[in-house]
Structure 1
């Protein structure tokens, strides 16, 4: 006989057990890394969404009053206890003022906007306004009191504050944005 011999059943089972222990150990090390990556990605997305929304507020509200005839009297007006901002501007010299608004819907915890209205809305809660969502409550978790706007001194500065709800261990610090209107004044009604 030649001296060749295979593995016994016991040797094979021991080798498989050692291999499984090594694979399980590697999986246990990879799982927390995957969870950390997911958490970091979610926090980064929340931060990016918040920054994009604040940039949108800044760009739009600094345009308020742009190229408007004095008779149209465009303004930035804070309504509904600071939960809504109405503003207007003309896109081109001599064209009609288009009215826009941002509001916080506390029921859905979403920021919403309405654009290009021929007349300013009398109230942001008025029926029939075509509000569109700027945020999703699961992507940018605003608290039920998550938005407020104020004109601390009439005309000079508009202050917007966002407050976030912690979500899955991630939370954003509250954000305060101060906007100085270039072409009009800020008033509260």
Structure 2
């Protein structure tokens, strides 16, 4: 009876096993680093997007309102008049540092600027930076730039508004003043102050001021 020679079988020795484990750990470590990097990038992107959205929403509200400033429901009635009445909604007031703006427009189209303090609708609008809360505030009941009684528009627990500035870019043609304003708004996340963004917008008021 012939005997068959079985092939010699051998496994990993200790050194080979340790080398294999080390290579495997390196691969896993590299993959883990990539995953962590992706998560960190996504988190940072979400933070930036959140802040951008908040700032742009505030900017949109301010520009939308300011663009309407000076609208007067009786303006057409004054065309051709020998003694035209002055527009009670014409005035736009800026604070010296540009961090507060006050204006009005005829929201109910009745031609009258509603008297203070509690006549509705409130046709006196405005926005300002409150440096104590680091928030943008919206005007209430016709308050002045330095008065109390304004209401927070932004949530200081979520974002800090670090800068708010409105600069006039007026063109006076003699009889008419074309009013345009550049608005700059800067904010940062309360949870991560390193995430900071600035948005800008230029607003042309639709209703020119008659000099």
In the superposition, the TM-score normalised over structure 1's length comes to 0.69
What SS class does the counterpart of residue 81 from structure 1 fall into?
coil
The CA distance in 2 between the partners of 1:55 and 1:25, in whole Å, is: 44
Q: Does residue 162 in structure 1 map to residue 185 in structure 2?
A: yes
Query: Which residue in the other structure is 1:125 paired with?
Result: 146
Cα offsets for 1:47-88 (capped at 9, x unmatched): 111221221111111111223454524322112521111110
Q: Secondary structure at the match of 1:72?
A: coil
SS at match of 1:38: helix
Does the aligned pair in 2 maintain the 1:62–1:181 contact within 8 Å? yes
Matched, 1:104 2:129: yes
Q: 2:87, 2:48 → 1: CA distance?
A: 46
Asked if the contact 1:100/1:114 (under 8 Å) is kept, the reply is yes
Distance (Å, rounded) in 2 between the aligned partners of 1:35 and 1:168: 16
Higher CA-based Rg = 2
Name the counterpart of 1:91: 107
Alignment counterpart, residue 134 of structure 1, candidates 141, 153, 165: 153
Q: Which residue does the alignment assign to 2:53?
A: 48
- The 8 Å contact of residues 76 and 184 in structure 1, kept in 2 or not, is answered as no
The equivalent of 1:62 in structure 2 is 67
Matched, 1:179 2:196: no
Deviation per residue, 1:122-179 (Å, 9 max, x gap): x22213x2x2222234544432xx011122336421222223458554332x333221
Question: TM (normalized to structure 2)?
Answer: 0.62
Give the C-alpha shift of residue 27 in structure 1. 4.5
Aligned partner of 1:152 in structure 2 is: 169
Which protein has the bigger helix share?
1
- Asked which structure has the greater RCO (Cα within 8 Å, sep 6+), the reply is 1
Partner of 2:139 in structure 1?
Answer: 114
SS of 1:82's partner is coil
Contact 1:63–1:89 (Cα < 8 Å) also in 2: yes
In structure 1, list runs of 5 or more residues that go unmatched.
1-13
